[in-house]
Structure 1
Amino acid sequence: MFVSFFSLQTCDQELRTGAKKERCLQGKSLLLCTLLLSTLLGFILLITSYIMMTCGLGSCDAKLGLTLLARLLNSRNDTVDPCEDFYKYACGSWEGKHSSRTTEESLNVFDVLLEENQLILKRLLEGPQFGIRGSAKEKAIQFYRSCMDTQRIESQGTQPLKDLLNQVGGWNTTGVGKAKDFNETLQTLMGRYSTFPFFRVHVGPSPFDLKTNIIQIDHPEFEMPPESKFKEKNYLEVLRVYLSYLKKLGGLLGGPQDGPPDSFSLTLSFISNLQQVVTPLQERQQRGMLFFRTTIRELQEKAPAIDWLSCLQAVFHPMPINLSQPIAVHDMDYLRGMSQLIEQWHKERVLHIYMIVCLVGNLSPALDSRFQDARLELSKILYGKMGSKMIPAERWRKCLTDTSSFFEPVLGQMIVQEIFPQQTKKLAEQMFSEIQDALYGQLDQLEWMDEQTRQQAKVLVSKLQVEIGYPAHILQTAKVNLEYQNLEINEDTFFLNVVACLKVLRENSYLKLLQHHSQDNWHVSPWTVHSYYSIRHHMVVFPAGMFRSPFFHMEFPSAVNFGAIGVFMAHELLHTFYGYVLPGGCPRCNRSALQKSIDCLVEQYESYGFKVNGTFTLLENTADTGGLAIAYQAYKNWLKKHKEEKDLPKIGLSNDQLFYLSFAHAMCGHQDPEKLESSLNTDPHSPLPLRVCGPVSNSQDFAKHFHCSSGTPMNPDNKCHIW
């Protein structure tokens, strides 16, 4: 029905004269309905045309394509010439779209995807449950819910911790009463509460025999950062702040905040002295003393202040431990110095107070908001904006972190079943195989590599262990349930749940000691978004959390998958050759030609104006540049085999351009200038803009597909290649 403007005028006239009001209202209603219907039909036609354009007559996830398209276009700043600065072109609008979170020190696409994965876990933990009673999954959910029950936690206050402290001699800052025996208290803290004030004990792969596990001993993880991290004036402020924190803990636990004269000050002095006997990792590396092989008997002689046999028996009970038990010590000089300090302070109550401080620090995250506020205030002062991130304000984030600390296999199984079907795993494995083949082809073209080394390199790649998605054991439900069978969880007592979980972790540690070392133990959780290469195990790991939009999806065009996750795969694959780039790492190679390529890459990254140390970042820059080239070649090889390519709506980009845009989008992010400057000396990766502009400016294929004239910033005449 067509409604004319004249009809509307007539209605207005009728309203003004008061005549035929009802007929007028009916006319307006008809007009509104007609307009709404037209809009709806137009929208349906738009979506239909999109689906037809994207997928033809076949099935397709149109919503997924639209979401990907929105991500890419919303991040892009198309007013920037891609040949001038491809990072600004691909990511120029990304920061603005995430402005509510760019107050953080750093935020990037990886962080956003990780949060999406965490929200999935949150939904799974909070949703209706249908499972076997007493299962590990049910216990994980109960633990999470007890953490979320802040009303009950607040009502219980400090009483759960006070009851526990009374069992180990109390806070004992008043000087009244006799403190428990030092070694007896230490054994209790280590055995019952997994608290390690003076040294850290864990089971790990033996550095002397990779197939076996061994007890490893290292310095503890100090809550107060060492003096070496701060300038002199700043460190004095750190001491003042931490002293205030200790006094606040004492007050919260019912004691006077000042305690006896100088009790907390002396404790602080002891902590500082303990930190000073730690040998820095770089110094141990230079001395070739990363590990020291010894036995409990020898350890007792070198660091006699500790009753080593009793302490380790407490940790690994019921496993029989004797004086001949082999031990791998990380820093023997520290243990000697620690022992001397303990003997010097043995008559003081300081040792007991310090141990209780460590116990409270370990358990206070399970207490009420007063303790959380105290920890947050301390972290903010010590670590700035990063301190706020370390202790999340939103309760669900904290509870998810705590739950994953104790129930990682359970949460891993939950998220894998939710987001990582077998079809995804199969396609990911096929992609990695394609990238391996592309690398073989690239090795054949390297002029600096001799034939014998070339064949050895191919063998090295063929022997690589590839782990995609998740470690196999987490899907073995019966095995996971067995690991938690002795754990009792009560939704009413979060604090006691934490204590119970610490006990089970300790009990399970001795089982690891009895087993051969398993490469099934990853350094990352299945829901994380960071891959890695393990030199020790010659293994690459790609967790399930990475195989999601915008990095990967079964329905994405191959250009997107290879441009994002494919580049990550090639990057990690190239880390297997890290030794070839190091001095003397390839004795039969044409070292002159290789060094020329290395110098080219070093000079390139140092010329960008970010004060990047091109030598320090060389291995990562090499993997970035080579990874992009190999992933692109793998993509072209894939197309030859599979012929067809899914298309996104026509947005003025070819599939080749989409490959490079997907690569760049994966690197979009924001970094606080101060944080960026400090990371230049600690992070072997280049800043995000260089991780995009560096590789594409070394790619002739990129220049070809974006029609970049010779001599433009993204198409320099001199290009740097190692792989």
Structure 2
Amino acid sequence: MSETPKGLEPQLSSSSSQPEPERGLHPSALFQLHLPTQEPAEANHQQQQQQTELGLQPLPGTNVEQQQADERTKTAWIKYQCPLSLFILGFCSCAAILGMTYYLHHFLHKNQAAVVTPCSSPACQRASAHLSMAADPFTHPCDYFMFSCGPDSEGHHRGQNMQGHQRAKSRGRQSKTREDRHVKEKSTLDRKTELFQYIREILESNDSLTSSAVQKAKSFYRSCLDTRSLDTAGVEPFLTLIQKLGGWPVSGQWNQTDFNVTLSVLMRDYATFPFFNLYVGKDPNDNASMMTKRYIEIDQPDLLIPIEWNSKTQKSQARTETLRPFLASCQRYLALLGAPASNNMIHVGMFISLSSELAVAATPLSHRMAKGQLYQRMTIKELQHKAPAVDWLGCLQAAFHPQPLMEDDHVLLHNLPYIVQMSRTIAKWLTRHELSNSGPLHTFMVLNLLHTLMPALDSRISDTANNLSETLGHTGVRQHNLHFQNTFTVDGGALHQAAPRWKRCVLETERGFHRVLAYLFRENISGGEAEEMIYDILSSLKSQVHQLKWTDDETLEFVMKKVKSITPRLVTTKEISNEAELDLLFSQVSVRVQSFFSNYLQLLSLWQKRRSKLLNEQNDGTDILSVSPSLLGNDLIIPMGMFIPPLFHPTYPRAMNYGVVGFLFAKDVLHLLLPEIYSQSESVRAVGECVWSHYLTVTGKEKSALPLPAAQQQEVWLQYSALQIALKAYKESLTKQPADTSVSGFSLTRLFFMSFSQVNCHTDPDHHLMPLEPSFLISAICAKSRLCPTNLECPKTTQRYLALGC
């Protein structure tokens, strides 16, 4: 008998164990008696004939009359005995059926619980401890479902009953409740945070049997954490580096190096782009046959000076209240670098003046999109003609060495007016003879280099930057992100300067040892569990979409064509097949545990090689810091960052993997494929209103709540459907592989829902559209489903609660 996991079979109700006439229970045909239809004499004659044919003789001492009389007596007895026999056998049949029902209901479920193998892997043991701290929706549903998401959710968290009964308890009980809630909130899942935590665990593990490349990545991370060594070294490593660049005017020792030569060195060796930014990407205007072509993208830089966009003048500007703290921070930098106090202010003034002139031409992304200034294609030769102050071919060849570049190669501009204005500004400052000894352009580049190397410098440098950030926050003025963010950036995104040191070190390690981490990620999902789940989720999603009520057949045909055309592609690193190749790739890297500055310089060199290789790669690279899928044409790009513990592990029970990552994957795909489904399907409004009504009933807010707007109804439908899709996909997986393991002895369905219940509002960038936390959807699913292990009933609202189902 194949195993049927506990909790996935519909539970037999207790009433089925009692005989009910209206159910039409009848004895089996095998136990029914057929009454004689012949006369007694005929029956006697036939019996004698059968005995003769079988060679049986009448008993001695009897005559025929006596035998006939006996037969008549026997026939009469049988005639009266049949109804009694029918009753007895019918009763026995009913008893047998009821006994079988009792056996199935009690013993088979008990056997099913026994055959579900407990998962004992280290990952499952950690997951068991994690679940023990998490809130259980099946134990305290009244408290568990009384919270919300969105902008009005502040103060309403898991375990905090919004009806206020917690406030009536004693102070000691309140303290215990707050402590429990804190533990529960810490146990909820945030994908980006969990991803950083997972990388941190890899880098902090002490496995001495790993490859040398992995050990180098771990040593780099440890050297990054060693801030004591950084403070001991002070600013001397940076001053030594400045001397390699020819000195600088601030110290009075400068070789007056050529502007373009210094700029090329900064771009090639130190990943520093003071006057413009560089990316690698595709042109969305290319036709399908050219989708593999990649271009160098040139954009405005991340200027150090804090600026904001003035919508009236259509220009960027700096306010006086921001210039003063910025000026003070610049003075602090120069003082820490040993600049003489006598001419400190002169260099700071020129730096701010030059920065302000460049900032005027910088514009926000939305403005450039409206003006059609993105993806302007031209050759390097044409760019040189429009912005002659920069040696474009020499600088780009340095930044993308050893890739061959020619003047006729095309590049993509994302703000040509800024590039033109930047060239004019540089030319003006180069030709100002009164500033020839002050070198403002060189000082500008050195201070940008200081910003690049800040993670590897004395903490006094980073403290100065943090103080400026806090000051700007207090004044209510923040620097706008004006530069263009490509779909794939080399650094994988930026962290706030005040982020925990370990997070910054994780990010820096990923920048340099990206392939090491990608290889380790691939090892985690190499067993095929992720691919199988992706297939099951997409199959369930297509079925779910097809069953919706659409506005018309044309819309259904359009949507189904769109859904069926996608091709899932799990992005993994394929260029490295084993640890030997990984070690060879990093054989030239030398990591010193107590010298993070030198390690960081090597990281910047690795980063340059990675950027250069992207120019000719056919795929999109392996962005392991991504946690959600994306669309590229008809390809559904699925990052490895989705499949990491504690969200996913190949040794987990499938119930856990489908309950968390299955739901998140289904939700992300629905967001990508059906962004406007509210206007296309009648089901969205119906389900959204139903779930919202269910929530209001449980929380007792029917009278005070307003109807949900369309965007929130769509988000409620989307997440409700994603949970249904994940559950259906899991059930389908069990038809193919009936066996599954369990954690902490939970039934499979309960384990599925408990894992899902750890998903909170903030796992989705559009969480502000969700008026209730996703875990409440368990309540809506269980209201109409017999699959839930227990009734999710809140005693205060039981009657209303059970009547609802969406």
What TM-score do the two structures reach when normalised by structure 2? 0.66
Aligned to 1:624: 719
Question: Which residue number corresponds to residue 499 of structure 1?
Answer: 601
Does 2:225 align with 1:128? no
Provide the residue aligned with 2:45 in structure 1. none
- Who is 1:5 aligned against? none
Match of 2:640 among 537, 543, 549: 543
C-alpha separation in 1, matches of 2:541 and 2:307: 44
Q: Distance in 1 between matches of 2:442 and 2:599?
A: 25
Could you say which residue in structure 1 is the equivalent of 2:548? 446
Structure 2 counterpart of 1:448, one-letter code = W
> Does the residue aligned with 1:173 lie in a helix, a strand or coil?
helix
Confirm or deny: 8 A CA contact 1:217 1:327 kept in the other structure.
yes
User: Relative to 1, partners in 2 of residues 1:276 and 1:625: Cα closer, same or farther, differing over 3 Å?
Assistant: farther
Q: Which amino acid aligns with 1:412?
A: A
Counterpart pick for 1:405 among 511, 514, 518: 511
In the alignment, is residue 211 of structure 1 matched against residue 292 of structure 2? Answer: yes
Corresponding residue to 1:165 among 214, 217, 242: 242
Counterpart in the other structure of 1:637: 732
Aligned length: 630
Matches within 5 A, 1:36-185: 58=117, 60-61=119-120, 63=125, 66-73=128-135, 78=140, 80=142, 85=147, 92=160, 96=179, 99=182, 109-110=190-191, 113-114=194-195, 116-124=197-205, 127-128=207-208, 131=211, 135-173=212-250, 179-185=256-262
Aligned to 2:378, the other structure's residue is in SS state strand
How far apart are the structure 1 equivalents of 2:676 and 2:193?
35
CA distance in 2, matches of 1:594, 1:340: 58
Q: 1:238, CA displacement in angstroms? A: 3.3
* 1:478-520 deviation digits (Å, cap 9, x = unpaired): 554454344444445432222233234324533433x24313x
Cα distance in 2 between the residues matched to 1:511 and 1:389: 25
CA positional deviation for 1:353: 1.9
1:33 counterpart residue number: none
**TM-aligned CA distance change 1:173 to 1:305, over 3 Å:** same
Q: CA deviation at 1:211?
A: 0.6
Partner residue of 2:24?
none
Counterpart for residue 467 of structure 2: 377
* Residue identity matched to 2:354: F
- Of the three residues 611, 617, 625, the one matched with 1:509 is 611
Question: What's the offset of the Cα at 1:172?
Answer: 1.7
Q: Which residue of 1 aligns with 2:774?
A: 692
Change (3 A) 1:310 1:517: same
Cα-to-partner distance string for 1:602-658 (whole Å, 9 max, x where unaligned): 9999x999999967778866643432232233234344554566566688xx76565
Is 1:414 aligned with 2:520? Answer: yes
Corresponding position of 1:355: 445
On the 8 A contact 1:572/1:623 being kept in 2, the answer is: no
Asked which structure has the greater CA Rg, the reply is: 2
Aligned partners of 1:130 and 1:83: how far apart in 2? 45
C-alpha distance in 2 between matches for 1:389 and 1:308: 30
SS in 1 for 2:142: coil
Task: Classify 1:336/1:623 alpha carbon distance in 2 versus 1 (closer, same or farther; 3 Å).
Answer: farther
CA contact (8 A) 1:182 1:352 kept: yes
Distance 2:801 2:390 in 1: 62
**Cα offset, 1:296, TM superposition:** 1.0
Query: Which sections of structure 1, spanning at least 5 residues, go unmatched?
Result: 1-50, 584-590, 671-678
Q: 1:223 to 1:695 in 2, by over 3 A?
A: farther
Aligned partners of 1:53, 1:334: CA distance in 2, in Å? 69
1:296-307 counterparts in 2 under 5 A?
296-307=380-391
Give the C-alpha shift of residue 556 in structure 1. Answer: 3.1
- Residue 367 of structure 1 deviates from its aligned partner by 1.8
Separation (CA, whole Å) in 2 of partners of 1:688 and 1:457: 24
Q: Where do residues 440-479 of structure 1 align in structure 2 (5 Å cutoff)?
A: 440-448=542-550, 451=553, 454=556, 457-458=559-560, 460-468=562-570, 470-477=572-579, 479=581
| Residue pair 2:136, 2:754 contacting (<8 A) in 1 also | no
Q: How far does residue 574 in structure 1 lie from its aligned partner after superposition?
A: 1.7
Q: 2:671 aligns with which of 543, 552, 575?
A: 575
**Cα 1:699/1:491, change in 2 over 3 Å:** closer
Q: Which residue of 2 aligns with 1:338?
A: 422
CA contact (8 A) 1:158 1:253 kept: yes
Whether 2:379 is the aligned partner of 1:326: answer no
C-alpha separation between the residues in 2 aligned to 1:566 and 1:257? 61
Further displaced range: 241-250 or 658-667? 658-667
C-alpha displacement at 1:522, in angstroms?
Answer: 3.0
**Helix, strand or coil for the counterpart of 1:665?**
coil
Do the aligned partners of residues 233 and 716 (structure 1) sit closer, same or farther apart at CA in structure 2, a change above 3 Å counting? Answer: farther
Q: Classify the secondary structure of the residue corresponding to 1:503.
A: helix
Q: 2:455 is matched with which residue?
A: 365
Unaligned runs of 5+ in 2: 1-109, 150-155, 161-175, 480-493
Moved more, 533-542 or 93-102: 93-102
2:660 corresponds, among 564, 585, 592, to 564
Instruction: Please state how far the C-alpha of 1:319 moved relative to its aligned partner.
Output: 3.5
Aligned 8 A contact 1:297 1:324 in 2: yes
Helix, strand or coil for the counterpart of 1:328?
A: strand
Q: Decide whether aligned partners of structure 1 residues 436 and 545 sit closer, same or farther in structure 2, where only a CA change above 3 A counts.
A: closer
Please identify, of 469-478 and 289-298, the stretch whose mean Cα deviation from structure 2 is larger: 469-478
Q: Name the structure 2 match of 1:484.
A: 586
Aligned to 1:47: none
Conservation of the 8 A alpha-carbon contact between 2:591 and 2:599: yes
Supply the distance in 2 between the matched residues of 1:272 and 1:149 (Cα, whole angstroms): 36
The answer to whether the 8 A contact 1:83-1:715 is kept is no
Aligned counterpart in structure 1 of residue 324 of structure 2, from 240, 243, 251: 240
1:306 and 1:360 map into 2 onto residues whose CA distance is 22
Whole-angstrom distance in 2 between the partners of 1:86 and 1:432: 30
Q: What is the SS of the residue equivalent to 2:453?
A: helix
Deviation of 1:180 (Å) = 3.0
Alpha-carbon offset, residue 128 of structure 1 = 3.1
> Which letter does structure 2 place at the counterpart of 1:222?
L
Quick one: structure 1 residues 181 and 599, their matched pair in 2 at CA, closer, same or farther if it must change by over 3 Å? farther
CA distance in 1, matches of 2:419, 2:711: 32
C-alpha contact (below 8 Å) 2:297/2:414 kept by paired residues: yes
- State the Cα distance separating 1:360 from its structure 2 match: 0.8
What whole-Å deviation, never above 9, does each CA across 1:119-160 have from its counterpart, x for those lacking one?
422323x553554xxx53344344334434545434432222
In 2: Cα distance, 1:76 partner to 1:333 partner: 61
Are 1:189 and 1:196, in contact at CA under 8 Å, matched by a contact in 2? yes
Q: Distance in 1 between matches of 2:713 and 2:369?
A: 20
Mark the CA change 1:684 to 1:83 in structure 2 (over 3 Å): closer, same or farther.
closer
* CA spacing shift, 1:267–1:86, aligned 2, 3 Å: closer
| Aligned residue type for 1:664 | S
In 1, the alpha carbon distance for the partners of 2:622 and 2:414 equals 21
**1:464·1:540 contact (CA, 8 Å) conserved in 2?**
no
The one-character-per-residue Cα deviations of 1:655-714 (angstroms, maximum 9, x if unpaired) are 6565444323211669xxxxxxxx9xxx54326763527856875856876358799799
- Taking structure 1 as the reference length, the TM-score comes to 0.73
**CA-based RMSD:** 4.8
Q: 1:486 touches 1:504 (CA, 8 Å); kept in 2? A: no
Cα distance in structure 2, aligned partners of 1:115 and 1:155 = 28
- How far residue 390 of structure 1 moved from its aligned partner, in angstroms, is 3.1
Contact 1:435 1:630 in 2 (8 A): yes
SS for the counterpart of 1:80 is: helix
**For residue 185 of structure 1, what is the amino acid of its counterpart?**
T
